Structure 1
Amino acid sequence: MSLQATAPAVLPASRVPDSMDAPPLRWGIMGPGWIAGRFTESVQAHTRQMIAAVGSRSRERSQAFADTFGIAAAYGSYGELAAADIDIVYVATPHTSHHSAALAALAAGKHVLIEKPIGINAAQARDIRDKAAAAGLFAAEALWTFFLPKFDAVRQLLDAGALGTLTTVIAEYGEHFEPGHRIFDPMLAGGPLLDLGTYPLALVTAVLGAPDQLRALGIGHPSGVNGQISAAMSFPGGAHAVVNTQLNNFTPTQASLVGTAATLTLDGPFNMPGGFTLSQPDGTSLRYEEPAGAHFEGLHFEAAAVARAIHAGRTSVAERPLEASILTMDVADAIRGQLGITFPGE
């Protein structure tokens, strides 16, 4: 981006279409947990997509989910769901099953949208990419943040060089979790890195690419998982990034993109619907307003984008291409390598 970037007079408007306009697909939910419930609520309220089936390892859990959301078919195994009369599977199982669940759906000829993280490591992400490509099927990571209208406006600013040369990206995400939450379970790839840390790492890699240097710090949690991770990175050209993620308590969950011409500050929580500010060195600023919200207001955008892509014959989405998901996992793997963190099955 040019050092002589010109400050915009106004911020770009989002180009994200109305989710109701997306052509409908028949969706199957694989893993009827909390995020699957939020996805279903959002999709049913804001789109014409049809949630046609749900499956889990427990027929009773699937039926309870189906009864709650008015879904016609409930199955007691992932294999039964994959074989059902559906177009696409939304994989919302625990992290450790994302890879195997996605492969089962692909093997049955179904497109897949896989809840973040796409796998527990980059090797699994590459395998999903390769299997989908070989079958000619759609596959993407459901990192809903990048499908929100505000991120389309952010992309336009970056593409136009409105920030000048990016020099620094700072992003963090911390939350409080009650005892017994799966994030404290080492056998489910617990700890903050894959749950919360995916968001700041994905933002950093989306705007700066692959780091050429990385230094990570971590500290354990009494449950046996990692409790907090911080990482500093440098990138070709001299940019730096700093990320922090932890499971001890809530943080502002803010993010800043600092350039030679302007600084873009995303309201916290930056990963959810909300606004941002573009600030210039002369003290002037421009404000992008988007109603703050959470999963109900935002998850439908990813479903609509996926439906549009599949109906157009595409096997990926520009908002979160598989190569971007793989890069984020590469960086997460590098962080874990420095901290000695391994996950089940590795």
Structure 2
Amino acid sequence: MSEQPVRWGVLATGGMAAAFTEDLLRIPDARVTAVGSRSVGAAQRFAARFGVPRAHGSWQELAADPEVDVVYVATPHAHHVAAATACLEAGKPVLCEKPFALSGRQARTLTELAGKRGLFVMEAMWTCVNPTVLRIAELVADGAIGEVRALHASFGLRVTAPAEHRLWDPAAGGGALLDLGTYPVSFAHLLLGAPDTVTAHARLSPQGVDEQTGMVLGYADGAMAVLSCSLLAQDEHRAAVYGTAGRIEIPAAFFNPRSFVLHRDGHEPRTVTAPPQEGNGYGHQAREVMRCLRAGLTESPLMPPARTLAVMDTLDAVRERIGVRYPGE
């Protein structure tokens, strides 16, 4: 594989699958060789749209395709476990969209299966492989702003989806937390690690999922992460990290930032601008997967399964605090 293009299979045909495929087509040593859906018609239409040579009418057929080296799972998150399991059981490495699963228990079934099969698996949390975010993490780790005392991050959208939409369906893992809250929680885990305490408050929908949620993650050294997510109100998706010797502010879209401002005590503020974005911004995670596969790795050091599991445990703790349960739990 080190000398050959990496052959991708795309599982699902919705908006995320399309956006990721568009970015794969920009990578010279990536090939999209197959697409799979539970509807052969949907797979064929997707294949025709993107010039994909093979279209499969089931997840299992895609997973068994000998012309596929790795599968990107882009289903709605309630189906991640079933889709990724089909691929892992067929011997295929997997890049699975966020959130990795509906719960920590579900997530562990996937990471344990991958471990038993000796297969690569990674959550497609693009924030954690974004070069600008990684630069922020380096600055924090190097003490550029001193000891971190607080982190703030929010992700809110004004959603007007009808009552039957998956966002309001508990069986689909609906609510703000898994769709949006996973971003600020993952950002906090990247910079501060897993919390020692979790508190949360939410407004729930009539269906029993969270319309918006506020969270405080506490750490043994006194640091805290104050996070929020909402389906009721649009915000600017800002984030900031505050330390004893300065702060880092991300003015917009902290999960895919175009710039950040470094404030250091005794220095003028410095704005760091990200390079121009290629495509939709998903190429970084595709390249990381390809790098790991060529190196024979079963996990990415940038987005390891251990962090995915820790994030899922935090999301579970938040759901316990706010009283959100999914069917079967």
- TM band (smaller chain): over 0.9
2:221 counterpart residue number? 237
Letter in 2 for 1:302: Q
Query: 1:196: Cα distance to partner?
Result: 0.7
2:101 counterpart residue number? 119
Query: 1:292: Cα distance to partner?
Result: 6.7
Matched, 1:45 2:36: no
After superposition, the C-alpha distances for 1:131-167 in whole angstroms (9 at most, x for unaligned) are 1111111000000111112022113212322121110
1:67 counterpart residue number? 48
Of residues 157, 179, 198, the one that matches 1:214 is 198
CA contact (8 A) 2:166 2:172 kept: yes
Aligned positions of 1:191-270 closer than 5 A: 191-222=175-206, 224-270=208-254
Query: 1:290: Cα distance to partner?
Result: 1.1
CA contact (8 A) 1:22 1:304 kept: no
Distance 1:204 1:258 in 2: 12
* Structure-2-length-normalised TM-score: 0.94
- Residue 230 of structure 1 aligns to a residue whose secondary structure is strand
After superposition, the C-alpha distances for 1:27-86 in whole angstroms (9 at most, x for unaligned) are 111111111110001111244311111111111111111111111111111111110121
2:57 counterpart residue number? 76
- Residue 315 of structure 1 aligns to a residue whose secondary structure is coil
Q: CA RMSD in A?
A: 1.8
Query: 1:282: Cα distance to partner?
Result: 3.2
1:142 counterpart residue number? 124
Distance 2:46 2:280 in 1: 20
1:308 counterpart residue number? 291
- Residue 136 of structure 2 aligns to a residue whose secondary structure is helix
1:34 counterpart residue number? 15
Distance 1:342 1:47 in 2: 44
1:325 counterpart residue number? 308
Distance 1:22 1:237 in 2: 47
Distance 1:279 1:158 in 2: 12
CA contact (8 A) 1:275 1:291 kept: no
CA contact (8 A) 1:103 1:128 kept: yes
After superposition, the C-alpha distances for 1:205-252 in whole angstroms (9 at most, x for unaligned) are 121122222211011224553200001121011101111101113211
1:289 counterpart residue number? 273
Higher relative contact order (CA 8 A, sep 6+): 1
1:155 counterpart residue number? 137
- Residue 276 of structure 1 aligns to a residue whose secondary structure is strand
Letter in 1 for 2:144: A
Query: 1:24: Cα distance to partner?
Result: 2.8
Distance 2:325 2:89 in 1: 28
Corresponding pairs, count: 325
- Residue 197 of structure 1 aligns to a residue whose secondary structure is helix
Distance 2:43 2:218 in 1: 46
Gaps of 5+ in 1: 1-20
* Structure-1-length-normalised TM-score: 0.89
Bigger drift between 331-340 and 172-181 goes to 172-181
Matched, 1:167 2:149: yes
- Residue 278 of structure 1 aligns to a residue whose secondary structure is strand
CA contact (8 A) 1:273 1:291 kept: no
Matched, 1:102 2:84: yes
CA contact (8 A) 1:306 1:317 kept: yes
1:298 counterpart residue number? 281
Letter in 1 for 2:94: V
Letter in 2 for 1:60: G
1:280 counterpart residue number? 264
CA contact (8 A) 2:128 2:190 kept: no
CA contact (8 A) 1:24 1:307 kept: no
Distance 1:54 1:256 in 2: 39
Query: 1:276: Cα distance to partner?
Result: 0.6
